[in-house]
Structures are given as C-alpha cells and as structure tokens.
Structure 1
Amino acid sequence: MIWLIGCKGMLGSEVAKQLDEKKLPWVGTDKEVDITNPQALLDFTNKIETAAYFPSDLPKSDRKIKWIINCSAYTNVDKAEEETELAEKLNAEGPLNIARTARSIGAKLIHISTDYVFGGNGNQPYTEDMPKAPLGVYGRTKAAGEDAIMKEMNTYYIIRTAWLYGFDGRNFVYTMTKLMNSHDQIRVVNDQLGTPTYAPDLASAILRFVEKSDNAKSFFGKNSAPAYGIYHFTNEGQTNWHEFAKEIYRLGRKYGRITQECQVNSCTTEEYGANVQRPAYSVLSKEKIAKALKIKIPEWQNSLEKFIKNDRFNLI
C-alpha cells in the first residue's frame, strides 16, 4: 500500500493518476491529515488498515503501508519571507513528522525537494553531493526538511526538482499563456538559468523508484534496488525564463492556446524588480537518477509540447 500525501496538489494529482493507471494500491490525503501534527499522522496509519478504507475482499497484507510519497509543501517563494513560521511547519517540521511516522511503521519514504537548496552561484549542473546554500526562507526550510529526513531514517529517496509545471494548479506555463492572451507584450527575466520539469515525467520517475525497489532481486548477495539517498530530476537541457516563455508562445500559437500576437521581451532580474533573491543558476545533474532507474529523460522542449497540445491543458 502506498500513502500519497498531498494528493490534490499539482504533482500529487499526477502521481495519483499514474497510480490508478498502474493499478497500484494506494490511499491519498491532503489537508485533512495535518502533517504538522505527529499524532494525526499516527492516527491515520492506525485507521488505514481497517475495512472502512478498502473493499472488504482486499487482502490485509495489501492494506499495510509500505511506502509514503510526500508531495506536500509550502511552495510560495515570495510569501515564505512573510509567512516564515508556516513555511517552517510545512517544509521542515512536516517532513520530520512524516519520516518519524514512516520509520515507526516500517515504510519507505519518497520526499520531493527543490533546486532552491542551492545558492545558484555555479556554472555546472549541481550534483546531489554538492553543499547546500539556500538564499531565502523557502530554500532554507526545504533544506531543513531534507536534513530532518536524513537524520531520522535510512530508507528514503529525496528527489530534488525545479521549475515544475503540470495540469492541475498554478504554474509558469499557465501564467504566461494567460498573459500572452491578454497583453500585446510582456517582460520575462533572462538571467536565471535552469530546467523546466513536466509533472507527469517526474511522477513517472517517482513510481519507478517504487517499482524497481519492490521488484528488485538479489544477485550474489547484492540488492538491485536503487540505493537510498538524494536524487535530482528535471527534464533534460537548460534554458532561462525568457527563452522558456518564448517557447511557450511558439507552441501556444501552434496549438491554438494563444490566440493573439504578443511580444516576449527580456529583462534582468534587477530590472524586473523581484522581491526575493532566486538562484541565478539552478541546473541539476540527472546522471545519477538516469543510471539508477535506467531511464531516458525527455528534453524539456519535447515535454512542453506534450503538455500544451494535451486535452487536459486547462487555463480555468
């Protein structure tokens, strides 16, 4: 049984969809189970094995929680500077509580983190072992959440991602599309480098960890499951927000998502007047995860096209 925490968010809803497609047994929770309340988490694990949650003919062994996937987080980078206590509760205390719960019931944990744990001063893709140096409250609280998990348990996968967009929830692609449909020109910063991440691609990688671990066989005493630890996942390639926006415009026009002409201008972060400092360079190396999961990660442009032309694309 998989317990998906944050099942209604942009990433969580995509993981839920793929769990259904794969016919894997799972249960999802969102705000109704408070991750900042350790007792609430434990109470839920005690209830989960009861017939009230599952068909009566579901074997009891399938009701035991073997995995917890945590997609919940405080993600508003700007507001985090004002709502520091809430960000700490959701991004640091919450993962600590979830890790303790997972350890107490013998479950493995998959936790989603962020490129914002790095300072953004580099010029080569960040590997998983590079030192953390977060710039703001959001990055600091996410880094603290990682540290709490690593201190509390051993059977975890922490997956850092960046520039995430998907079908359910607000994201950069939807925002740009709306602006391009209502303005004849817009400004987008060109001095922050990174890589977009298509939520279905990340969800697929998350469930790949589950499948490879559960199906792992031991050869000559060595387990073939992916090693526990930290991994990075985004799509392949790199870009900046301005070039990302230009590609959104091109594909939006191609597939009828954008119905008028709009000039996409570039500016620096300083010219734009951002309130919170963001990493200037946050490209993540994917070599480790590609090797561990034996996957080929799609280029960001290809995944963006899949997203924009998909019938699930919804600006409402």
Structure 2
Amino acid sequence: MATVAAAAGVSGQTVSRVVNGSPRVDPETRDRVERAMADLGYRPHRAARALRTGRSHTIGLVVTTLATVGNSRMLQATAEAAAERGYALMLVTARDSVADAFTRLAEQEVDGALVLNEASALVPAVERPAGLRLVVVDAPADSGLVVVHSDHAGGAAAATRRLLAGGHATVHHVGGPEGSFAAAERERGWREALQAAGVDAPPVVRGDWSAEAGYLAGEALATASAVFCANDQMALGLLRALAESGRRVPQDVEVVGFDDVPEAANFRPPLTTVRQDFAALAHRAVELLVAEIEGEHADPPASTVVPTVLVSRSSTR
C-alpha cells in the first residue's frame, strides 16, 4: 500500500480509502490511485485485512430456494450491489433451518446477512449468533427487524383498479402460497381496491408461484372476465389454460401479473404486469446492511418500501 501511495503521490490513508470504496476521495485522485494499483499489480489481501479490521468484507445471503424468479433475480442484483460496495457474497440455503444457515455464516465470519422472501418469515423464531447483523427482504414492519420490501399492496391495488376500469363485476385473484409475506400483501392490495370500489371479493385461487399452478387455476376461473395473478409465472400458466379453452385475452378475459419478468413482454399476448425494481430493492438492502456493519446508522429505519409500477401491455384492453 505504501508503494502504491508513493507511485500515485498520495498518502497511505488515501490509498486505504480507495481500496475500501470510501466516497471521501475526489474522482481525479481515485483514478490516479487505481492506475497505480493496476501498474503495480496491487491486490488487497482479504484475509490480512480481516485480521487488521476485524471485518471480512463478506455478507451472507439466506434463501430457502432459487427456483422462484424473484429469488434468482434478487441473487443477481444483490451480488452486483455487494460488489459495488466492496463486499463478497456468500450464498446459504435454508431449506430445513434458518438457524443452521446463521450458524454456517457465523463460522465463515461474515459481517452480516440478507435474508430473502420465504426465509424471512422464519427469522423471528430463531436465535441468531451474537453480532450477526441482519436485513430482511419481505417481512412485516413490526417484526423487530430491519426490513426492505417492494410496495406489493400498492402494486396489487393498481392492478385491480386497472381491471375494474374495464367494467367487470369483480376481479378474481390467483394468489401466492400461504405464509408468504409478498403473497399476503398482494392479496391485501387486491382486497382493499375491491372494497374501495364497493365490490365483493371472490374466493382466492391459491397457487405456489409456478406456471403449472396458474394453468391449474384456469379451470376454477372458467367464467372469470378479469384476473389478477400474484406473479407473472402463474399468469403465464393461466394464459395457456385460457387459450386451450378457447377464451381470448383480452377480449374475453383481461389478465394482469406481478413482477415484470423479462419474458413478460413476449408472452402471448404480452402481459400487463406490476414491475418490481429488483435492483433498487437489492441496493437498498445492501446499503442498510453495510451501514450497520460500518456503524454509519446508529438507528436504522425499521422498514423501507420500494415503489412498484404498473406496466400496460396487450393482456388488458
């Protein structure tokens, strides 16, 4: 580090700030230091730095599954957000036990962890290792944890209002699985929009986020004229079921999904859906976690809500 400082004509403290991604370095100086590091072949030694600072600059990511589109997109977005802050990412699956996942992370001496979606519901019931800082994605604001989540309810309400505007007597809902915070919030937004319009809510058709569940829901929704699906994958299955039964979308049935997966614009017809900003969600979660790790937030916000946007395509009139 001293050699880099001499080559760049700066202090060792400035090189340290550049290495650690501190914003307190002007762009010209940062560029000069980074050029010197490249010319000299300098690489920070992560193990040595951990011994000196007491931090590993590694954060954990706890998931129950990567089979869902939301979790896989969050993994990519979180990895990118962590790298931008100079942190490595360690993935741990918690299919059987979140407590075991926390133990494994503590053994690897991570500085903190993000917990995603379905795994978040399991956190309050377990004791986490002392000093393990946590931020959870998709959990109630009153859970006693630092929480980040999309505006699931607001997006669902916007989708429902859009369908009601087509003059339908009601809007049916293909909901996500029991116990999912995101599914419950999207169902809440749907119910509140119907109630505000003075419309009775029909029974929810429950699914498991898969396209197959949406396809199976088609039989229960044989007479529906407007359907809000809790995610795009179930909407995809529903579109197939409707096509096979001879019902046209959007002429006979209007359909709205949730997530705005990249393929949604290429469904047949292209799907009207609620867009989650996975990049913003991951960046905010990583920002809060790193702030806790580095002592930047003495009192972090209990809950941060990331806005959603209704994207109009051809599955609605």
**Does TM-score exceed 0.5, indicating one fold?**
no
Query: What interval of TM-score do these two structures reach, taking the shorter chain for normalisation?
Result: 0.3 to 0.5
TM-score by length of 1: 0.38
Could you say which structure has the larger radius of gyration?
2
Of structures 1 and 2, the one with the larger relative CO (CA 8 A, separation 6+) is 1
TM-score by length of 2: 0.38
